[in-house]
Structure 1
Amino acid sequence: MKNEITLPAFSRRSFMRTTALAGGGLLIGVNFLNSCKPEAKMPEDISQLNFNNFNAYIKIADNGKVTIFSPNPEIGQGVKTSMPMIVAEELDVAWKDVYVEQAPLDTKNFTRQVAGGSQSIRHGWDILRQTGANARQMLIHAAAKQWEISPADCKVSEGVISDSKGNQLGYGDVVKAAAALDIQDNAPLKDPSQYKIIGRDAINVDIDKIISGKPLFGLDYSKPGMHYACVLRPPAFGRKLVSFDDSETKKVTGVTDVFRFEDKIAVVATNTWAAKKGKEKLQARWDDEKLESTEDHDRILLGLLDGKDFETLRADGDVKKAFAEADRVIERTYESPFLPHSCMEPMNFFADVTDEEVELTGPIQTPEGSQKAVAEALGVDIAKVRVNMTRMGGGFGRRLIGDFVLEAAKISDVVRKPVKLFYTREDDMTCGQYRPAIKYRIAASLKDGKITGYHLKEAAVNSNMYGLIPNFFPAGAIENYQVDVANYKSHITTAPWRAPYTNFLAFAEQSFLDELFEIMETDPIQARLDLLDNVKGTTDERIQYSPERMQEVIRTAVTKSGWNVPASPGVFRGFSAYYCHNSHVAEVVDVTMNGNGMPSVKKVTCVVDCGIVVNPTGARNQVEGGVIDGIGHAMYGDLSFENGTPGVKNFGAYRLIRMEEAPEVDVHFIQNGLSPTGLGEPALPPAGAALANAIKKATGKRILAQPFTKYLGTEEKVIG
């Protein structure tokens, strides 16, 4: 069973340092994600240091202060705080003496500068610790040499080295001597019982700048002489531009350039207002081809579910035989709509294209992919494309797709001016990349009081496997188990959406399992535990979850929520448990029903096994946000299309969960001392399922489609 990742081998290439520093100090390179390439070299003279040369690195000044440069994009998941905490722990410096800076993209020395999949801490855990430990050992050796004693006779605490005689030296006192020593590979790591930073609450390293409005985000970025660009895009996905009239646009004071590129029209101006007003005055004519509507998607996806054109991703045993021999077969179809990403900060990016280089700056989750796309589109050497990253006001998968980066570069290339491309909220909602609409059909066979077969089908718009994972629970727990997928290619652009693969599948499967257990007249908690017993000891390496760890979060959630204690009058509870992004989560939702027949979520108890928690404050924030996000979109999220055009343009017409609707979230972490796993996404998928199961207890109705508020009180997409 593959529950843990293969750890990287450590070598000198994983740990670099300078040998002479101008003005004192030791510069130590950190291979944050085991990605420094062999050709990466450390400069000999810090005065000539080009920070682009490193994936990330530590700088120790002669005053003992430590600066850690982080290469990973920061989208609010907290890695800019938690990853340096890991290094600082093993380096053994006081966290108050650590400064953190964002590094730019460097494809020569880095191979993974990506924010996605909740994988940064999981992949960086061992190499970050080893890097900090190696640095600590070098500094100890330098002090021991000065005292003419064995390094084993030295101790270190928070950047101060001491010996048995009471002598003390700060890191800043020995950095020059340490720079002349050989690198200490594979220095001993701390026992977790010795941790002073890991596992302790740490404030976001950018919090002061965030709350005081300092320039951190893409929309904050500016450069002397910079122009601003708005783009008029097709009013519907699949439409083509026939012609346009820009005569009124050019009359707007501040507008400097108007031109067509592809099926879009760019308006460039000296300020944002002029660019926006200029775009509004454009007169464009588009073709009138009949395009897709939500009704078309419903019909097409249901047709795919009824058809035979599927790709089988997993087939255990004989599902057809199990169904033929069953006492009863239960089948349900679950449906979800498209969803926008709804980032607080709309898409934007800065580009400055000259003959010498292409400078790109802004919020992007995949800087290297964007660099490659820009180089190819402009026909320039990729070495000339320089990418700097800002903090992001939300990503949720939208900023994995760098279409807006490419637009900015193309516009700057035409006008040969530094340009900030910005989307309005309407642009962001109507010209986006969406969570694909998906339908699941799940069937199960029952015989002699047991589940003997399980068949899961997915039909999705542009899914590219965004909605289905064949090796998650209950894979391996049911003898006859099959997973099939079919895909419809649409003009509507789609992208991963927070917790891709699982954000809707968890609702479908966990709701279906609860219904099965109800039909079987068995306890839903014990039934899940029994299914997980079937997976223990398996030799099936495809299974990605741990049955033991899943059982522990289930049992803990039962205890922490008081599941077995009768709820207060009018309070109804629902349960779900799910594995994704290498973490196991169980949730209990408490709801009451309002006079209008709608549920009010009062409390969610969430138990998470994500291994060692580096920063509890940040971890709780991630879990709370994921739970509320999951509940909000299950309840309200809905985006329809009419003839290729999104049905809403701004938040005034798009329902999101409101502050007064956010429940109390009681978070508990399993303390097992295992290596960290994902955290930014795993709390979201179980939330909708637990809520749906609570609503069933409250109303007697099972909801088969999201958003719940659309179907509660109706007979559509509801059974019972």
Structure 2
Amino acid sequence: MPNVTQDSRRNFMKLFAAAGGGLVLGFNTTSSVASALGLIDEAKLPAAAIDFNSYLSISPENIITILSPNPELGQNIKTSFPMIVAEELDADWTKVKVVQAPLDTNKFERQVTGGSGAVPHSWERLRKAGATARHMLVEAAAKRWKVPANSLTTENGTVVHAASGRKLTYGELATEASKVPVPADVKLKDNKDFKLIGTAVRNVDNHEMITGQPLYGLDIYKEGMLYAMIQRPEAFGLKLKSVDAAAAKAMPGIVDVVTFKNNVAVVGKSTWQVMKARKALKISYEQEGALESSADHDRLFKELLKSPEATVRRKDGDVDAAFKKAAKIIESEYQCPFLSHSPMEPMNFFAHVRPDGVELAGPTQTPERARDQVAKLLGIAPESITLELTRLGGGFGRRLSADYVLEAAELSSLVKAPVKVIWSREDDMTGGIYRPAVRYRFEAALDAKGNMIGYKLRGVGINSGNPTREDNFPSGAVENLLIESVEHQSPITTGPWRAPITNFLAYAEQAFLDEIAHAAKKDPVQFRLELLERAKKSPVGEIKYDIDRMRGVIELAAEKSGWGKKKGVAQGFSVYFSHRSYVAQVAEVKLKNAVPVIDKIYAAADCGIVVNLSGAYQQVRGGIVDGLGHAMYSKLSFKGGAPEQQNFNNYRLIRLKEVPEIDVHFVNNGIDPTGLGEPALPPTGGAVANAIFKATGKRLRNQPFVEQPELKNVIG
């Protein structure tokens, strides 16, 4: 069994004993080390003041409480974290309660939801917290019964002495356990002994969500709070010129109309009142930057794909020589549009800027970033700001940005009152921070035997940073390879969108690999396996993906889908590595009255140990639905700097009837968890496009699929 060494204890455990009884074990997520801090009165320690990051408490009533630091936006972290602790503790799951922690950078590390990294980061720390508590409870029982500790076992929240039949609950032992020295070494369970991890457990917030209890930012109400809605420029590239707010100020319930930066805010006593008053504003704008349109972007993409100026991201071998001697060259271009994040809960945040400090509350994926940016804006110390986290009604990367938090803070400072800023759906869709628009050009060189001897990729992005992922497959498997990027800076604001960059790049890469396999007259699955075998035997440069794990999901997906063995169905394959995990998918398409219909999608995922089977299934299924819907239907276009889609009447999302059957399988390799919030999305577009090609002979190189000439008026 794995051990916690003395060196790995430092800053891990913080021990608190209440005068009235009970054990509180705080564990530091910044390191995997532990030290006893001493005894204090639990009654005098409200959650916001406890000096640790995440903690485990056991009350004399046998209630176990976990303080969860990471924002919860549907990735199931508030359920998975306590499951890990409860597993090592051998707790009675029915007695476990979870509390959302506020922001506290002194006690928490990586208090972030993003990058599918919460469980991988905290896995070992959480296990050690539960195991350490279990050890101390056993020691307390051994002392009370005067028996050797190794004669005792734990089960379902109790310590058991089998020889005598005696049994004590953790609550009955909590006070005594709090006086036991924190162990220098503690054994963790063997994976084969897990009882809770790997099972299906309901989300801890289910009851509150179903019964409409306040969980989300939109539920927040603070005494004396005002409501605000903000009118932002109607197009990217415009700046505020003048405002006539007389009519708005005269409307019922309106407290003030405030102009700040490039915005005009209406502040009042209810959302409905400020929403109506905002429509009465008379605002004029003037041009400040380029008023870009989607037609401009199309021309720009074509120019930059041919530009001699590009950033070389990776270069292996002699690419020019490989293409000169090639028996066959395949070339293709793929393009994706801007996308809105479209979370169910629009942007909102509460702020109360006072002379003695600032109170913030609401949904954010990056609370520390939000706090620090507010501190910079107001010119105050971050330590004078508190931030209360609510559950997020969706984020998908949009709430990594803090623009809406800054609006609330600045507005509160101007009106000298507590304010909650609320965005409408139209605000949310037109207010920026979109998925970047990107175009890719691929080239592949084949020898006379159909082997790929050269590979080129150039990505052109609009405010995308780096639109490629130069070290992902097939890098390392091709002797001669060149990956480049070109960036266009635009007034249109962009940011991370679920599985940043790979959400579209995976589709383009995997669809192009199928084009290569088709040109080489090779089975698409076998073609990928051959490339992996080349990378295994003769790696080219650095390989940053795990060849065996990728091979494993490929083989599992092919097996479960009956790849190549079915009649009357067209199958398309895709596999991708992102956020430390691997997912392969097989999409099945049937022709019904000559119309391609997506009938089923198989998924094989390797994310290491699955903590909560229920949550994991939903993460994979949700990622597939997200990937399918946006590849098929969604698009945000611009005309004169303004978004042409402003609500769901013309911004198309997938509908329930369009969701196919999804069959999910997990690789059980016993390694530590590697993330699952995003990895199932990237492969979906490629699997579906490749299946539609198999069924119709039509290649889909642009998204959304329903707008492509090959399928126009055929599906959608």
TM bucket normalised to smaller? over 0.9
Of the three residues 634, 638, 648, the one matched with 1:637 is 634
Question: How far 1:539 moved relative to its partner?
Answer: 7.3
Give distance in 2, aligned partners of 1:8 and 1:368: 31
How far the C-alpha of 1:56 sits from its partner, in A, is: 1.1
Distance in 1, matches of 2:215 and 2:7, equals 35
Counterparts in 2 of 1:441 and 1:648: CA distance versus 1, 3 Å: same
For residues 292-441 of structure 1, the aligned pairs below 5 Å read 292-441=292-441
Write out aligned runs for 1:77-226 (5 A): 77-163=75-161, 164-226=163-225
Q: Would you say 1:452 and 2:453 are equivalent positions?
A: yes
CA-CA distance at 1:448 after TM superposition:
2.5
What letter corresponds to residue 526 of structure 2 in structure 1? Answer: Q
Matched, 1:623 2:620: yes
Match of 2:465 in 1: 464
Contact 2:132/2:183 (CA < 8 Å) preserved in 1?
yes
Does the aligned pair in 1 maintain the 2:334–2:702 contact within 8 Å? yes
Question: Equivalent residue of 2:535, what SS?
Answer: coil
Equivalent residue for 2:261? 262
- Residue 543 of structure 1 aligns to a residue whose secondary structure is coil
Shift of 1:712: 3.9
- Whether the 8 Å CA contact 1:607–1:668 is kept in 2: the answer is yes
CA 1:634–1:156: 2 relative to 1, 3 Å: same
Amino acid aligned to 1:478: V
Q: Which amino acid aligns with 1:670?
A: V
8 Å CA contact 1:328–1:447 kept in 2: the answer is: yes
CA distance in 2 between partners of 1:536 and 1:524 (Å): 19
Structure 1 residue 305: Cα displacement: 1.1
SS in structure 2 opposite 1:535? helix
8 Å CA contact retained: 2:700, 2:710: no
User: 2:132 aligns to what SS in structure 1?
Assistant: helix
Instruction: Supply the AA of the counterpart residue of 1:462.
Output: N
Change (3 A) 1:543 1:493: same
The CA deviation string for residues 510-532 of structure 1, in whole angstroms up to 9 with x for no partner, is 11111111111111111111110
CA gap 1:715/1:603 in 2 versus in 1, 3 angstroms: closer
Q: Cα offset for 1:594?
A: 5.0
User: What SS does the aligned partner of 1:140 have?
Assistant: helix
Greater CA drift, 584-593 or 374-383? 584-593
> What SS does structure 2 have at the residue aligned with 1:686?
helix
In 1, Cα distance between equivalents of 2:414 and 2:37: 37
Task: Give the direction of change, closer, same or farther, for the CA distance of 1:135–1:437 in structure 2 (3 Å limit).
Answer: same
Name the amino acid aligned to 1:45.
Answer: D
1:527-542 to structure 2, matched below 5 A, reads 527-536=527-536, 542=542
User: 1:540-563, CA deviations, whole angstroms, 9 ceiling, x for partnerless residues?
Assistant: 784222111111111111111111
Displacement after TM superposition at 1:50 (Å): 3.8
Post-superposition offset of 1:176:
1.4
Shift in CA distance, 586/54, structure 1 to aligned 2, threshold 3 Å: same
Aligned residues of 1:36 and 1:109 also touching (Cα < 8 A) = no
Q: Tell me which residue corresponds to 1:3.
A: none
Return the offset for 1:41: 6.4
Following TM superposition, by how much is the alpha carbon of 1:537 offset from its aligned partner in structure 2, in angstroms? 5.8
| Other structure's SS at 1:503 match | helix
- Native 8 Å contact 2:633 2:706 kept in 1: yes
Moved more, 325-334 or 363-372: 325-334
Looking at structure 1, the residues matched to 6 and 215 of structure 2 have their Cα atoms a distance apart, in angstroms, of 33
The gaps in structure 2 that reach 5 residues or longer are: none
Number of residues of Structure 1 aligned to a counterpart in Structure 2? 704
Q: Are 2:236 and 1:237 aligned?
A: yes
User: Paired residue for 2:476?
Assistant: 476
**Matching of residue 684 in structure 1 with residue 681 in structure 2:** yes
Q: In 2, distance between residues paired with 1:295 and 1:397?
A: 27
Structure 1 pair 92/205, CA: closer, same or farther in 2 (3 Å)?
Answer: same
Residue aligning to 1:47: 43
* C-alpha separation in 2, matches of 1:348 and 1:394: 12
Tell me, yes or no, if the aligned pair for 1:35 and 1:111 is still in contact at 8 Å. no
Helix, strand or coil: the match of 1:145? helix
User: C-alpha separation between the residues in 2 aligned to 1:399 and 1:412?
Assistant: 20
Aligned partners of 1:42, 1:617: CA distance in 2, in Å? 39
Contact in 1 for aligned 2:570/2:589 (Cα 8 Å): yes
Between the aligned partners of 2:633 and 2:6, the Cα distance in structure 1 is 43
Kept in 1, the 8 Å contact 2:462–2:488? The answer is yes
Q: Deviations over 1:251-276 (max 9, x none)?
A: 11001011110010011000001111
Change (3 A) 1:455 1:540: closer
Q: CA deviation at 1:472?
A: 1.0
Report the Cα offset of residue 128 of structure 1. 1.1
Q: CA deviation at 1:43?
A: 7.0
Residues 589 and 599 in structure 2, CA contact (< 8 A), matched pair in contact too = yes
Aligned residue for 1:205, secondary structure, equals coil
The TM-score, its normalising length taken from structure 1, stands at 0.95
| Structure-1 separation of matches of 2:540 and 2:455 | 18
> Structure 1 stretches of 5 or more lacking a match?
1-6
Which of 30, 42, 58 aligns to 2:27? It is: 30
Contact 2:232–2:264 at 8 Å: present in 1 too? yes
Which letter maps to 1:455? Answer: K
Q: Alignment partner of 2:494: what SS?
A: coil
Instruction: Give 1:101's aligned amino acid.
Output: V
- Cα contact 1:254–1:274 (8 A) shared by 2: yes
TM-score by structure 2 length? 0.96
Aligned-partner Cα distance in 2 for 1:346–1:653: 18
- Give the Cα separation in 2 of the matches to 1:538 and 1:346: 50
Amino acid at match of 1:603: K
Aligned equivalent of 1:577, options 570, 575, 597: 575
Change in Cα spacing, 1:538 to 1:227, as seen in structure 2 (3 Å) is farther
Q: Report the equivalent of 2:658.
A: 661
CA separation of 1:412 and 1:538: change in aligned 2, threshold 3 A: farther
Deviation, 1:370, is: 0.4
Displacement after TM superposition at 1:32 (Å) = 3.7
RMSD between aligned residues: 1.9
Q: Deviations over 1:146-179 (max 9, x none)?
A: 2222211111111211222222221112211111
Question: Structure 1 residues 651 and 558 mapped into 2: Cα distance closer, same or farther (>3 Å)?
Answer: same
Shift in Å, 1:69: 0.7
Deviates more, 1:164-173 or 1:615-624: 164-173
Distance 2:32 2:315 in 1: 36
The Cα offsets for residues 342-387 of structure 1, whole Å up to 9 and x where unpaired, read as 1000000011110111000000000000000000101111111101
Match of 2:283 in 1: 284
For 2:611, the equivalent position in structure 1 comes to 614
Partner-residue secondary structure (3-state), 2:246: coil
Indicate the SS of the match to 2:238.
Answer: coil
Residues 395, 8 of structure 1: alpha-carbon distance in 2 compared, 3 angstrom cutoff: farther
Give the Cα separation in 1 of the matches to 2:420 and 2:39: 33
Distance 2:610 2:417 in 1: 46
Residue aligning to 1:4: none
Aligned to 2:503, the other structure's residue is in SS state coil
